[in-house]
């Protein structure tokens, strides 16, 4: 029996990087996994990977910035698996790495719509379901730039600060309803998002490594392990908290 046997987790952005590693980790522990993302092919590939390791999962094509699609996602999860014990609101985008005055309205809207409005919409419909079923756990994926400034990622950083704010307020609003809500702030994790970032700016890898006291990037599996603990009863006294997972990054001065 896995430690998440019989549980249901909904993971946005579950088709890649951190989300996919988390989906696999939960599936290996016996959870039923609902994967949501925009790209159907990658989503279905992720489901195939999970089934190949003996897990159970299904994919719902969803753009988290669209309210009707998020509502549909939660409804599909409930109609397939009956409930949503855990939700990992992880879908996100980073932007182009421009300085603030060079940023555009399109970029502002795209980042805020997905990273901030998307997390709010997901929480809104997940909470409706969790209230019906008597509780649940929500983990929102912020980022180390959700705790401090990040040059050339300022809009992203603002969106991720917003995720921390949404987490704290919602945690207090639903504390008496048996719903725990926490945020995770990963540092620099080796995922397709990270690889894209390195391909845009030559020499960035060395600079980034020098910013991390452990001198190595995090692995998606290390983030998945934190999500697993945050969802488990071992974290039963934790709500409204923000966990930094950054190899010492953002702690050093």
- In the residue annotation, 174 being an active-site residue is answered as no
Which of 143, 157, 167, 239 is close enough to bind ligand NAP by CB under 6 A?
Answer: 143
Interface size with ligand NAP, residues (CB under 6 A): 31
What is the widest separation between alpha-carbon atoms in the chain? 54
Which of 22, 90, 157, 239 is close enough to bind ligand NAP by CB under 6 A?
Answer: 90
By DSSP bridging, strand 136-141 and strand 179-186 are parallel
Q: What distance in Å separates the CA atoms of residue 7 and residue 23, rounded to the nearest whole number?
A: 12
Distances 192 to 20, 188, 199, 216 between C-alpha atoms, Å: 11, 12, 10, 16
Nearer to ligand NAP, 135 or 156 (CB): 156
- CA angle at 107 for the pair 14 and 201, rounded to the nearest 5°: 80
Residue 161 touches ligand NAP, criterion: CB under 6 A: no
Q: What distance in Å separates the CA atoms of residue 58 and residue 51, rounded to the nearest whole number?
A: 9
Nearer to ligand NAP, 90 or 239 (CB): 90
Residue 140 touches ligand NAP, criterion: CB under 6 A: no
Which helix (H) or strand (E) element contains residue 220?
Answer: helix 220-231
Find the part of the chain contacting ligand NAP (CB under 6 A) among 38-46, 48-56, 172-180, 205-213. 38-46
Backbone angles phi, psi at 108, to 5 degrees: -55, -50
Residue 249 touches ligand NAP, criterion: CB under 6 A: no
Give the active site residue among 81, 156, 174, 237: 156
Residue 157 touches ligand NAP, criterion: CB under 6 A: no
Question: Given its phi and psi angles, is residue 203 left (phi above 0), alpha (psi -120 to 50 degrees) or beta?
Answer: left
Which of 10, 64, 139, 243 is close enough to bind ligand NAP by CB under 6 A?
Answer: 64
- Chain position carrying tokens 């307020």: 169
Nearer to ligand NAP, 62 or 239 (CB): 62
Which of 157, 167, 182, 191 is close enough to bind ligand NAP by CB under 6 A?
Answer: 191
Residue 167 touches ligand NAP, criterion: CB under 6 A: no
- Helix/strand/coil percentages in the chain, nearest 5: 50, 15, 30
By DSSP bridging, strand 56-61 and strand 179-186 are unpaired
Residue 92 touches ligand NAP, criterion: CB under 6 A: yes
Binding site for ligand NAP (CB under 6 A): 12-13, 15-19, 36-39, 42, 62-65, 90-93, 114, 118, 141, 143, 186, 188-189, 191-194
Which residues are identified as catalytic? 156
């Amino acid at each position: 029996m896995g430690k998440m046997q019989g549980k249901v987790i909904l993971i946005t952005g579950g088709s890649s990087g951190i989300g996919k590693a988390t989906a696999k980790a939960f599936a290996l522990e016996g959870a039923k996994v609902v994967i949501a993302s925009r790209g159907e092919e990658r989503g279905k590939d992720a489901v195939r990977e999970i089934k190949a390791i003996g897990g159970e999962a299904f994919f719902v094509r969803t753009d988290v910035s669209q309210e009707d699609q998020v509502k549909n996602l939660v409804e599909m999860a409930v109609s397939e698996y009956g409930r949503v014990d855990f939700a990992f609101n992880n879908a996100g985008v980073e932007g182009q790495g421009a300085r603030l005055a060079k940023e555009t309205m399109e970029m502002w809207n795209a980042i805020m719509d997905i990273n901030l409005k998307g997390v709010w919409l997901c929480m809104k419909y997940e909470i409706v379901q969790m209230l019906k079923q008597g509780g649940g756990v929500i983990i929102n994926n912020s980022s180390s730039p959700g705790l401090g400034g990040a040059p050339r990622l300022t809009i992203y950083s603002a969106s991720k600060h917003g995720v921390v704010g949404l987490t704290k307020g919602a945690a207090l609003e639903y504390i008496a309803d048996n719903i725990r809500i926490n945020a995770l702030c990963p540092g620099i994790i080796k995922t397709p998002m990270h690889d894209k970032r390195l391909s845009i700016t030559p020499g960035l890898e060395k600079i980034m490594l020098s910013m991390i006291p452990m001198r190595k990037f995090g692995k998606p599996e290390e983030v998945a392990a934190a999500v697993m603990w945050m969802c488990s009863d071992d974290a039963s006294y934790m709500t409204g908290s923000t966990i930094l997972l950054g190899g010492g990054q953002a702690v050093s001065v």
